[in-house]
Amino acid sequence: MAAYDEKFRLQVTKDYMEHPNAQRIVEEHNVPIRTVYKWASRYRNGGEEALKKKSTKPIRLANETSEYDKRIIVATWQELYNQNNPATRSIASLRRELAAKGIDKSEPTLKRIITANVNSIKSG
């Protein structure tokens, strides 16, 4: 997929709006026809501003663990770790403890959070 700068998108779109022959635009500017239609639609609905490049990165990940939950997870793991009972040092034990506190996270998520905070857990 080619990246087009704003100036080029605006030029192609205005050319298409003035002379709505998509096939001619495709041939002259070497842009896919669907792209021409998409840009024209955006331009009609939002003007030049709608043709500006926008980040596709989500502002927040849907499943991102909150800092509050991370602190609870680390503190709970630390409690289990400090019990000196190998049976309580499992992710399954941690999941049970967290479920009682209303936190439901997958094993990989818990492992990732614990691994990222391993130094604070051992020193605590």
Residue 108 lies in a domain: yes
Residue 56 lies in a domain: no
Residue 106 lies in a domain: yes
Domain that residue 16 falls in = 6-51
Would you give the DSSP letter of residue 3?
Answer: -
Q: Which single residue is written with the structure tokens 């680390």?
A: 74
Single out the residue of 94, 97, 83 nearest to residue 117, CA to CA.
Answer: 94
pLDDT tens profile 12-63: 999 999 988 888 888 998 999 899 899 999 999 988 888 887 767 766 666 7
Residue 12 lies in a domain: yes
71: left (phi over 0), alpha (psi -120 to 50) or beta: alpha
State pTM to two decimals.
0.48
> What value does the CA radius of gyration of the chain take, rounded to a whole number of Å?
27
Within 13 Å, how many C-alpha atoms sit on residue 96's CB side?
Answer: 7
Q: How many domains are contained in the chain?
A: 2
Considering the chain, what is the average pLDDT of its residues?
A: 85
Sign of the CA dihedral 57, 60, 65, 67?
Answer: positive
